Structure 1
Amino acid sequence: MDVRSRGSVNRIKKCAFDLLSIGDMSDDENSWDLMGKDLRLKSMFLYCDFSQVISNAPEEQKKTLSDLANRLFHYMEELDHAVKIRSIPLTQNRYNEAAHVLQEVMAIML
């Protein structure tokens, strides 16, 4: 693995760790805005870094990594939507779904 890909793997793990560390939601305007901005920013980093890792991965790993990335971004979009509509129950549900995939990401990015 080249230096660039290692940097991408480290950023993926950092973003996944940060997202897994999100605490309880409070129902105030600043919390919703901050969470939404943080999700979108981390999604952008994850997208760029996953693209880098997949591009440089051996051919036999590309499909697995692509499938994992696609599932992650699906759940991240669902979570972002829940945050935009400011529903605590839906946000918690979508967060739990995304957290399962984030744990898979952490496990595969060793």
Structure 2
Amino acid sequence: MEGTQWKGSVHRIRKCVVDLLSMEDDLVDDDDEDAWELMGSDLRLKSTFLYCDLNQVISHAREERKKVLTDLANKLFSYMEQLDHAVRIRSMSLTQACYNDTANVLQEVMAALMPLR
């Protein structure tokens, strides 16, 4: 059962990463309050899933991979926190910049998970 949970975590991480990377097309208009709220809610939900699933993957990783994955997860959540802040203050330019940083780290996460199939 534990192997199934681990595989499920990796699958959910990949799904969240793909969803977040596809958000670039949906970056909101400055005037659309509902879109800002929806984006913020979506970011926080996906961040929660990523946190739980990355924790699961890191805890079951080999010792030599744990530090790399932990550092990558810390970097990701730092950028996601900045992105969430940019969305909360509804700054389109800051949101775009933070999104670009977050997207780069998300691609690093995907690359780090490739050997974990």
If the length of structure 2 is used for normalisation, what is the TM-score? 0.91
Greater RCO, 1 or 2 (C-alpha within 8 Å, sep 6+): 1
Between the aligned partners of 2:12 and 2:63, the Cα distance in structure 1 is: 22
Shift of 1:21: 0.2
Q: What is the aligned length?
A: 110
Q: Secondary structure at the match of 2:90?
A: coil
The 5 Å alignment of 1:1-110 reads: 2-22=3-23, 23=25, 24-27=27-30, 28-110=32-114
Between the aligned partners of 1:57 and 1:32, the Cα distance in structure 2 is: 36
Q: Secondary structure at the match of 1:21?
A: helix
Q: CA RMSD in A?
A: 1.0
Runs of 4+ in 1 over 6 A off after TM superposition: none
Deviations 1:76-95 (A, max 9, x none): 00000000000000000000
Between the aligned partners of 1:35 and 1:44, the Cα distance in structure 2 is: 14
Aligned sequence identity (%)? 63
> Which consecutive unaligned segments of at least 5 residues does structure 1 have?
none
